[in-house]
Structure formats: C-alpha cells, structure tokens
Amino acid sequence: MYKVLRELKVDLGERSYPIIIGQGLLGAFDLTPWVAGQQVMIVTNDTVGPLYLDKVKSCFPGKAIDVVTLPDGEKYKNWQTLNQIFDGLLEQRHTRKTTVVALGGGVVGDMAGFAAACYQRGVPFIQVPTTLLSQVDSSVGGKTGINHPLGKNMVGAFHQPQAVLIDTDTLQTLPAREVSAGLAEVIKYGLIRDEAFLSWLEEAIDSLVRLDAEALGEAIFRSCTCKAEVVALDEREGGLRAILNLGHTFGHAIETFAGYGNWLHGEAVGTGMMMAADLSVREGFISEEDRERANALIRRAGLPDRAPPEMTEADFMNLMSVDKKNVDGRLRLVLLKSVGDAFTTDEASADNLHDTLTGFLPSAG
C-alpha cells in the first residue's frame, strides 16, 4: 500500500503539473492520467533499471511500454548516449502521442527530457527521480540537456514534465556519497531563499544523513516548494531563477576540470557554495559568522571543501568564462546578500574573486 506524504503544484498556467511525494509509490501509483496516448517509453540506466523498472511499468496499466537502458554515469551525458533514446523511439515507431518517462537520477532525467523536447519537435514526459539530488532539483523546473566537453549543460532545452513522482523509498538504496551530493542542493534552498528552512536543516542534518524517512519527506517537500515558487515566477531564467545556481558557476568548473562523473554534481556545488559564501564576505554582504554557519552545515552533510588536486586559478577562470549565466563576456555569479537572500551580480571585484579562488585551491588547504 502506498502513502502520499505531500503534493504540490508547479504553477505555470496551462503547463502546470503536480509533484507527488510519498512512500511505496513505484509499482502502485497510477500515472496513466498524465499519459496522452497508448505508447510509453521508459528511459532508465543499468543501475536503476534492475531495481525499479518492473515496478514503474506497473504504474502504466494498459499502456504499450518500451524501454531504453543507458549506461550509468555523468560521463555518458552526451550526444552519443542521447541518440540511443532517439534510436529506441524510432525503432519502436513511437509517435508524437508517446510519453517519455525518465526513471533515474539527474543524468537520466536531463537526457530523457531533452530527447522528449526534440523528438518530433516535442512529446510529453514524466519524471520519476530516484536520487535525492534529482528529487529536490533537476526533476523540477523543465531544464533538460547534455554536457559538452567545454562546458556542463551547454546544450539543452526548457521542456516541462507532465508530472513528477517522488518515491522516498528509492533513497534507501543510495550510497552515502550520493546522499551527501543531494543534500548540497537541499542546503542551497535554505541559503538562497528560506532562512527558517536552513535553521531546520541545522537541526535535522544528522537525521537526513541517516536517511530518516520523515525528515527526508519534509526536506524534499520544502526544497521542491522553494523551486516551484521560483520557477513559477521565472520559468526561463530571465532573472530570479538564476539564484537557483548558487555555487554552480564554481561547481561546474570543478566538474568539467575533474572530468564528468569523477566529482558528483552535488559535491562540486557544495564546494562552490562555500566559495560563493566566501566571496559574499569579501564583497561586504554577509558576515564571517554567516559564512561559517553555511560552511559548517555543508561539511556536516559530508561534502568536500577544496577544489580537486592540481586545479589552478587559471583553470577556474577559463572554465567559468563559458558559464551560461555570463552576459556580454561578463562573469555573472550568484552571491548572498544575507543568509536566505541570494542575488546575481557581474560586479564582483577581480581582487576578491582572486582571493576566493586561491583560498579554495588544494595548495591552500
């Protein structure tokens, strides 16, 4: 018997959709109300598929189901792997009435969503995220895409899902490192928009690391609520939505330098948020005490606090120069005005940026 814990809506007018959070949903919850036709293409990977594929098939009674199974890992988030999804859709003669279902973490969700955005100029898709990071971040908001060797997520499209189904039971199979990576994005929401949530996280972080079901349900709901509010106000990142990228400009540089998959996205974002907090202090926005408050929580989540070995300041600057948020050649960063209040700026002092970057290099530690 499944249990729906929470439900909320991403309010985008005619393209609004529900986020359903619960326990025991896979294999029991009926997703057919969000399926347009008879065809369903489930996209998963060779780690998640053996665990949950049969259960998810049961969520689509009466539908004709096909499956594409991708290799697992960020390093496969590329054109070659994306084509495997198109191959499956074409070989099985899926029409524009098909529904693509993303079963997996952020990599599967981003690629399946991008394939759905492109196939026959756009078909519906449903997100069934199975990692903490994908449940609180990448499955919500319609960002889809793949990586390029020169930059992360540089090729993609906005394509909103029909629904997001989050079964917290899937988190019980996650390795500890993946849990920590997901907690980085959870902490982000407290830092950028909800100081009360940050305070709650300081009390609950040990329970979250232990995968306490009640704490996880609350953290996922509050994270998704924050993201849904921001996306509803700024779907295509014309302004406010950019605050969701706190730590990401630094983090994407780390991921690209290290080689996609060697650092998990959340690990890189965790270090990136520490760097953003440090620069916020140097720019005169937050206090050193606020910075240490953020850093202490990030460390308690089990996240790294230094850049990868051998990474240099020049590496950071070169890789950050191709970030999607940059405008007219100016580096745009997300910083903190205060804990719970983030903003974007392209006016950070070069000297302060230099001091922050050098402070987080391996040689500084």
Model confidence pLDDT, tens digit, residues 213-253: 899 999 999 999 999 999 999 999 889 999 999 999 999 99
Is 289 tagged catalytic?
no
Q: What is the mean pLDDT of residues 65-91?
A: 97
The active-site residue, picked from 77, 94, 143, 324, is 143
Is 203 tagged catalytic?
no
What's the CATH code, domain 176-364?
1.20.1090.10
In the chain, the percentage of residues whose pLDDT exceeds 90 is 92
Query: According to CATH, where is 1.20.1090.10 located in the chain?
Result: 176-364
Is 252 tagged catalytic?
yes
Is 188 tagged catalytic?
no
Is 310 tagged catalytic?
no
The active-site residue, picked from 245, 267, 282, 332, is 245
Q: What is the mean pLDDT of residues 137-148?
A: 96
Is 185 tagged catalytic?
yes
The active-site residue, picked from 178, 185, 235, 267, is 185
The active-site residue, picked from 188, 227, 291, 293, is 227
**Cα angle 198, 106, 162; round to 5:** 95
Q: Which helix (H) or strand (E) holds 100?
A: strand 99-104
116 versus 330: which is more confidently predicted? Answer: 116
Is 159 tagged catalytic?
no
Cα–Cα distance for residue pair 251/256, rounded to 1 Å: 9
Cα–Cα distance for residue pair 164/8, rounded to 1 Å: 10
The active-site residue, picked from 74, 235, 237, 255, is 237
Average pLDDT, the chain: 96
In the prediction, which pLDDT does 160 show? 98
Is 57 tagged catalytic?
no
Q: Is 244 helix (H, G, I), strand (E, B) or coil?
A: helix
Q: Cβ(125)–Cβ(101) under 8 Å?
A: yes
Q: What is the mean pLDDT of residues 169-192?
A: 97
Given pLDDT bands bounded at 50, 70 and 90, which one contains residue 363? confident
In the prediction, which pLDDT does 314 show? 96
In the prediction, which pLDDT does 99 show? 98
Given pLDDT bands bounded at 50, 70 and 90, which one contains residue 279? very high
Whether the pLDDT of residue 5 is over 90: the answer is: no
Model confidence pLDDT, tens digit, residues 45-57: 999 999 999 999 9
In the prediction, which pLDDT does 83 show? 98
Is 306 tagged catalytic?
no
Query: According to CATH, where is 3.40.50.1970 located in the chain?
Result: 3-172
Q: What is this structure's pTM?
A: 0.93
Q: Cβ(167)–Cβ(22) under 8 Å?
A: yes
Fold assignment, 3-172: Rossmann fold (3.40.50)
In the prediction, which pLDDT does 306 show? 95
The active-site residue, picked from 14, 93, 121, 203, is 121
Whether the pLDDT of residue 365 is over 60: the answer is: no
Given pLDDT bands bounded at 50, 70 and 90, which one contains residue 1? confident
The active-site residue, picked from 77, 152, 159, 248, is 248
Q: Cβ(335)–Cβ(279) under 8 Å?
A: yes
Q: Which helix (H) or strand (E) holds 341?
A: strand 341-345
In the prediction, which pLDDT does 117 show? 98
Is 248 tagged catalytic?
yes
Q: Is 47 helix (H, G, I), strand (E, B) or coil?
A: coil
Pairing of strands 17-23, 164-167: parallel
